[in-house]
Amino acid sequence: MNYTNLGRTGLKVSRLCLGTMNFGPETSEADSHAIMDRALETGVNFFDTANRYGRTISNGFTEEIIGRWLAQGDGRRDKIVLATKLFGAMGDGVNERGLSAYHIRKACEDSLRRLQTDHIDLYQMHHVERSTPWEEIWQAMEQLVREGKIIYVGSSNFAGLHIALAQFSAAKRNFLGLVSEQSLYNLNARMIELELIPACREFGLGLIPWSPLGGGLLGGVLQKAAQGRRASEGLQARVEKLRPQLEAYEALCQELGEAPADVGLAWLLHNPVVTAPIIGPRTMQQFNDSLRAVEIKLSDDVLAKLDKIWPGPGGAAPEAYAW
């Protein structure tokens, strides 16, 4: 496994991040524990979750699965960089959601209890909340840092503007501020190249792409269909809309002798702003298959062909749309 710094920090994380959203609803607890064991064996030390993952069973259920895995001991807590998120509703109360100092404190305490740990390495805001001032947010986060309950703060689903506002506010307080941004990014979803990626680069945030394979779209969906494996109706509709691009993409991957999923992940890893794409395996086989991506080096010619198949917004703003 290869490692890199998380944004501008000195923290080293694996180039693949283990996403746990499927743990509980799609993957049994026993299989989830086995995947986490395998992650440690292969050097994947970056684990991502959220307090609302597993909510189809109960709020916090995925965190509880991870907590029971951590409770097995053997030093596993000290071997991983543990990230979780807060924002969404965790109950019916009017203050059981959002980014108020009230909810930040309670959400953190609840996650620590479910995860059976005394600290969270990367505490991420799952979404921006425009109605809460940054002074309040940073005051709450600073208090958690002082208490040793969190170490770093990250964002998720922010725009470039939100990152800039957050960092300017943090700088006034002599606080580190955001160190990472978790955002939708893949070959078929490149809008963040306009302003978010430039903001991450400017402010030293590591980019953690979620849905790096477009919900299965970039994972060899045509090949799987030919093998008789059906996709969901929603994915099928996207496949038909993008069929010419998918045919060209999968043909290029076949020419390279690499699986489409691995090429999609490798393309993300070629971006110097990207810290680690989030892989969200449902099975051990899916986890093992993802490991190949860190070994793939794509030539400039291949990168140009991928750009032609999956064109982005034209680069960074404003050059992408102005003279």
289-302 pLDDT tens trace: 999 999 999 999 99
Q: Are strands 46-48 and 81-86 parallel, antiparallel or unpaired?
A: parallel
Flag whether pLDDT at 192 surpasses 60: yes
| Tens of pLDDT, residues 81-95 | 999 999 998 988 999
Flag whether pLDDT at 228 surpasses 60: no
Q: Which of 53, 123, 185, 249 is catalytic?
A: 53
Alpha-carbon dihedral of residues 101, 63, 18, 210, nearest 10 degrees?
-50
The pLDDT confidence band at residue 229, using thresholds 50, 70 and 90, is: low
Instruction: Respond yes or no: is residue 53 known to be catalytic.
Output: yes
Q: How far apart are CA 213 and CA 206, in angstroms?
A: 19
Flag whether pLDDT at 121 surpasses 70: yes
Q: Quote the pLDDT of residue 230.
A: 61
Average pLDDT (306-312) is 96
Q: Quote the pLDDT of residue 286.
A: 94
Q: How far apart are CA 140 and CA 147, in angstroms?
A: 11
> What angle, 0 to 180 degrees and rounded to 10, lies between the N-to-C axes of helices 134-146 and 160-172?
60
Query: Using an 8 Å Cβ cutoff, are 222 and 247 in contact?
Result: yes
Cα→Cα distances 137→141, 270, 313, Å: 6, 33, 32
The pLDDT confidence band at residue 307, using thresholds 50, 70 and 90, is: very high
What is the residue-wise DSSP string for 126-152?
SS--TTS-HHHHHHHHHHHHHTTSEEE
Q: Quote the pLDDT of residue 233.
A: 75
The DSSP H or E segment spanning 308 is helix 300-309
For 3-309, CATH number? 3.20.20.100
- The pTM of the full predicted model, rounded to 2 decimals, is 0.93
The DSSP H or E segment spanning 13 is strand 12-14
The pLDDT confidence band at residue 227, using thresholds 50, 70 and 90, is: low
Tell me what percent of the residues of the chain surpass a pLDDT of 70: 98
Flag whether pLDDT at 34 surpasses 80: yes
Average pLDDT (4-33) is 97
Q: Taking all residues of the chain, what is their mean pLDDT, rounded to a whole number?
A: 95
Residue 180's nearest CA partner among 88, 89, 81, 114 is 81
Q: Both tokens of residue 310? A: 């999956």
Q: How far apart are CA 15 and CA 2, in angstroms?
A: 6
List, in sequence order, every residue forming a beta bridge with 317; answer none if it has no partner: none
Q: How far apart are the first and last CA of the chain?
A: 42
Average pLDDT (11-34) is 97
Q: Quote the pLDDT of residue 231.
A: 66
Flag whether pLDDT at 31 surpasses 80: yes
Average pLDDT (224-241) is 75
What are the residue ranges spanned by the domains of the chain? 3-309
Flag whether pLDDT at 96 surpasses 80: yes
Q: Both tokens of residue 66? A: 């991870």
